[in-house]
Amino acid sequence: MEPRIVRANAGKTKIAPEDMFVGQVLQDQIFVPEDPSRLRVTRVTFTPGGRTNWHAHAVGQILYVLSGVGRYQREGEPVEEISAGDTVIIPPNTRHWHGAAPDQMMCHLALSETDDAGHATSWLEPVSEDDYTKATT
């Protein structure tokens, strides 16, 4: 873990990979694990309709919504609306997805930790239009 300040104008915004996301999603890497830290921090910006595939985390995940209006669903539960200032707490090994609302963009910080074996995220199949467009609670 090297001491440093990473300025806002460093790094490059990346397009999120198509095999893990649906729609146009942009990623800014904030921090990747450096021993002894196990933390990964990514700022993710979902354009309207954009979302993650279904996925799960070995040590869970915290989402902190910075701006906009989005969606979150834990498998077997209703789709929920999330917006700026909300925090989503996702336990280990829980299938879920998150993304923008159909007509609004959403930006969040995604915080996850690696386990003792270095595992963090398991990526699964895309979220269908049918699942994505279900009414929110």
Question: What gap in Å lies between CA 136 and CA 37, rounded to an integer?
Answer: 36
Q: Which two tokens stand for residue 110?
A: 């995604």
Question: What gap in Å lies between CA 103 and CA 47, rounded to an integer?
Answer: 9
Instruction: List residues bridging with 31 in a β-sheet.
Output: 41
> Which residue number, 17 or 91, has a Cβ lying nearer to its own copies?
91
Closest approach of its own copies to the CB of residue 108, in Å:
12
Residues lying near its own copies in the complex (CB under 8 A) are found at 1-9, 30-31, 34, 36-39, 41, 59-60, 62, 64-66, 72, 74, 80, 82-92, 94, 109, 111, 113, 115
> Which residue number, 29 or 47, has a Cβ lying nearer to its own copies?
29
Residue 131 has phi, psi (to 5 degrees) of: -65, -40
Closest approach of its own copies to the CB of residue 60, in Å:
5
How many CB atoms within 10 Å of residue 60?
15
> Which residue number, 33 or 48, has a Cβ lying nearer to its own copies?
33
